[in-house]
Amino acid sequence: MADHNHIDFCTVCRKNTVYTLQKVDIIRNIRSSAYTFTITAAVCTECGETMSIPGLIDTNVQEIDAQYREAEGLVSVRDIENLMQIYQIGKAPLSLALGFGEITITRYLEGQIPSKAYSDVIRSALTSPAFMKRMLEENRDKLTDAAYRKAVASAEGLEERFSVSAKMLGTVSYLFGRLEELTPLTLQTLLYFVQGVHSALYGRPLFPEDCSAWIRGPVFPAVHKLFRDFTFDPADDARFALLDGAEAVLTDGEKRVISLVTDTFGLYGGKALEKITHGESPWTEARSGYGGGIPSGEILQKERIMAYYQAVNRQYGIDTEAGLQNYIRDMLGKAS
């Protein structure tokens, strides 16, 4: 994989030459174990040897650090920064709240790699407001009143928000992992399709949360509450860190259903998805029950969603992408 051409001095050719940036694999021994890392190398286009260019060593150090942490399951500097932002807590108070020495977090932020045990504590605090609240309580006497109150208030607020089921949280995490950025409307609609397809294929809902009929289509109120002020871009909102690893509760079959939905419904924008749901009987029956007007919060019974999608499955075979795509095309055709 080559980048744009650049020019620098090649010590082999003894002159300025064109080089390209390429990804290469190297093996490094760390703590008696061998690791293969993929790093960026500058390769001379004339002699084919690697070149030393300004800034590349620092880039390689960062690449190796990130890959080593991932291989060992260790938190990153970004993870710790997210933790501080989520709970509105400084470096020293966070160290004390987690039961570490006062400057431990400072050292980690400067690049020191944490032990697996300390990393696991940090990750638990990052992904579980209940765990963070418990650590704050256990180390209450080490914190100032202001730091304690602010962090506890943040933990309690997040604990309330993230009270959705583990399956729902896992599904949301898996959706963001596959599609990266989602609008609120698209997320809600895809959750509805996941519930419908899973119910049709397995005879039961994937998650227990109720879905309601809103003006724009099906909405899960618990998820609406959870994300009500998120940016919906994981790179810009530290709270998305609480979704890390949540998909671990999903079975292979559940992941397959979510993948089917993202690879079919996920190809369309919010407006197209709205047209589909507005043509489906769970939503239209809710509208009929509302006197033909716009439904406003009526619960779409899980049994109704299941029955509808079981009928769709019998007609289209929605256990395949082709079957779902045929269904989508027919529904959009009817809506046009």
What pLDDT, in 10s, does the model give residues 247-293? 999 999 999 999 999 999 999 988 899 999 999 988 877 765 554 45
Q: List alpha helices for the chain, DSSP H.
A: 56-72, 77-87, 91-97, 104-109, 116-127, 129-138, 145-161, 166-179, 184-202, 221-226, 252-262, 270-278, 281-289, 302-316, 321-335
Q: Which residues of the chain have pLDDT under 50?
A: 1-3, 291-292
Q: Are 147 and 176 found together in one domain?
A: no
Answer yes or no: is 147 within a domain.
yes
Note whether 65 and 88 are same-domain residues. no
> Where in the sequence is the domain holding 253, given as residue range(s)?
166-335
* Residue 38: how many other CB atoms lie within 10 Å: 11
pLDDT for residue 291? 47
Residues 19 and 132 reside in one and the same domain: no
- 152 with 230, same domain? no
* CB 133 within 8 Å of CB 156: yes
Q: Is residue 1 part of a domain?
A: no
Spell out the residues 6+ positions from residue 186 whose beta carbon is closer than 8 angstroms to its own: 269, 270, 273
Any domain includes 65: yes
- Give the model's pLDDT for residue 164: 87
Residue 129 and residue 49 share a domain: no
CB 7 within 8 A of CB 16: yes
pTM of the model: 0.73
DSSP assignment of 152-190 equals HHHHHHHHHHT-S-HHHHHHHHHHHHHHS---HHHHHHH
What is residue 110's predicted lDDT score, i.e. its pLDDT?
A: 93
* Residue in 59, 58, 56, 100 with CA at minimum distance from that of residue 80: 100
User: How many independent structural domains does the chain possess?
Assistant: 3
**Residue 25 belongs to a domain with what CATH number?**
3.10.20
User: For the purposes of burial, counting CB atoms within 10 Å of the CB of 130, is it exposed (0-12), middle (13-18) or buried (19 or more)?
Assistant: middle
